[in-house]
Structure 1
């Protein structure tokens, strides 16, 4: 045959040879890659198990140091560079006063009834944690994340919670008297019957929060976002709400004796059974309010208030805070 083709194989043979060669090379590569993929999956599965095991070892070791005493724990933290992970641990009713948990992962931790007075929890992750009836008097929780946490009847008196996240948390009956709550996110939180007396709540976000029956007497709520919040039956006597946004807020039956509402926005707010006779309303914006009679409006205008409707576009910036 090669004689007939002058020493060269027919073109059809050559094409077949090339095709088969390519197929065999591809098959060999596939086998290698498939085997490598299996090895890679086994390696990552093993790595996950090793990481989980090491995390558990580290968590148990940290817990052992903590349970000895707080002084030893704080000394160890000063020397150690390890990340603190006590997530999901049960430490209820334990005395941890003065303990250093700054930047720690405490997500889902159970600290019900624990004593954390003067503890350092700055920037700690306390999401979905349980701190009901705990004592956090004078603790440092600045920048901490307590979103979704159960904090009912907890003592936060004189505590620093500036710039903390308490959105969607449960705080009914908690005590925040004289606490620093500047720029805290309380959006959609349950704050019914909370004590905010003389607390600094300036620039805080209470979007759609339940504040029914709260005691905020003498508190600073200047510049706060209270859009859609429920403040029915609240004690706001002598509180400072200068420049606050109370768009569509429910103030039904609230006590406003000597309350500062200057330059606040109360458009659409429910003012049924709310007494505004001694409030400061210079530059305050009203409009579409339930509970206001014509003589009430005339009195408020004479004291420096204005009335207008507020379109939804004007509040979009506050809703996104």
Structure 2
């Protein structure tokens, strides 16, 4: 009896109150009220049916917020540029053709997110989780994918010149016809990736891991020959283009 009474007391002491349980969830009315009162820190919140139309996100803090249930972001007057979305949860969300210029998406959960046709100019996606994400025809100069996980992602026809893919996981990804001119591929894992007809001119593909990658018709820097037989190999050849078979 005493043991049972102690368990009840401990349960009452440490059980979250109903108000505490809903503390991290905000509906549109609550969000708009707090925003109007000057609040700009919405980190670690779950935003449910929140309307961001007409609200400048620059300078606002959405770090580690769950943004999967926001209202449609494709309407006019929704500006996602320069926003801090570090660690935000946007997995599976349709973000196609939106502008993420200078947006911070470090460590964000973007698995299976649709970025097709999106603008990623100078966006920071370091350590982002982009497994199976759709980035077909996404574009942007100087995007940072450092240590990002893009396994199985589709970057076909993406225009990502000067992107940083250093130490990124691109296993089994699709980079066919992508423009990665001047991209940093240092220690990037491209094992099993489709890099057919991609433009890697002025980049450093010899420093990437290309085991079993498909690199037919890939455009390489002058004098660079990459073999998929080993983790990384560099040889010299004449000309700036080559058609090679993976083996």
TM-score, normalized by length of structure 1?
A: 0.60
Task: Name the residue aligned to 1:197.
Answer: 161
2:155 touches 2:175 (CA, 8 Å); kept in 1? yes
Partner Cα distance (2:219, 2:155) in 1: 17
Equivalent residue for 1:64, pick from 21, 29, 32: 32
Against the structure 1 CA distance between its residues 267 and 96, is the aligned structure 2 distance closer, same or farther, given a 3 Å change threshold?
farther
Task: Name the residue aligned to 2:10.
Answer: none
1:153 touches 1:175 (CA, 8 Å); kept in 2? yes
Q: How big is the alpha-carbon RMSD for the aligned residues of Structure 1 and Structure 2?
A: 3.5
Task: Name the residue aligned to 1:23.
Answer: none
More helix by share: 1
1:177 touches 1:196 (CA, 8 Å); kept in 2? yes
Per-residue CA distance 1:169-201 (angstroms, 9 max, x = gap): 111111132111111111101111111201111
- How far apart are residue 268 of structure 1 and its match? 8.4
- How far apart are residue 54 of structure 1 and its match? 4.5
Partner Cα distance (1:119, 1:212) in 2: 30
- How far apart are residue 64 of structure 1 and its match? 1.6
2:101 equivalent to 1:101: no
Partner Cα distance (2:183, 2:34) in 1: 37
SS at match of 1:223: coil
Task: Name the residue aligned to 2:199.
Answer: 235
Partner Cα distance (2:25, 2:45) in 1: 12
Unaligned stretches of 5+ residues in structure 1: 1-46, 270-274, 280-288, 292-308, 310-321
SS at match of 1:64: helix
Which region of structure 1 is more displaced relative to structure 2, 161-170 or 57-66? 57-66
SS at match of 2:207: coil
Task: Name the residue aligned to 1:318.
Answer: none
- How far apart are residue 167 of structure 1 and its match? 0.8
1:108 touches 1:128 (CA, 8 Å); kept in 2? no
Which 4+ stretches in 1 moved above 6 angstroms?
none
SS at match of 1:107: strand
Task: Name the residue aligned to 2:183.
Answer: 219
For 1:1-321, list aligned pairs within 5 A.
54=22, 58-65=26-33, 68=36, 72-74=38-40, 77=41, 83-87=44-48, 89=50, 91=52, 95-98=55-58, 99-109=60-70, 110-112=72-74, 114-258=78-222, 266-267=228-229, 277-278=238-239, 290=245
Unaligned stretches of 5+ residues in structure 2: 1-14
Task: Name the residue aligned to 1:44.
Answer: none
Per-residue CA distance 1:194-235 (angstroms, 9 max, x = gap): 112011110101111111110000010110010111111111
Partner Cα distance (1:169, 1:233) in 2: 21
Greater RCO (CA < 8 Å, at least 6 residues apart): 2
TM-score, normalized by length of structure 2?
A: 0.76
Would you say how many aligned residue pairs link Structure 1 and Structure 2?
224
- How far apart are residue 62 of structure 1 and its match? 4.0
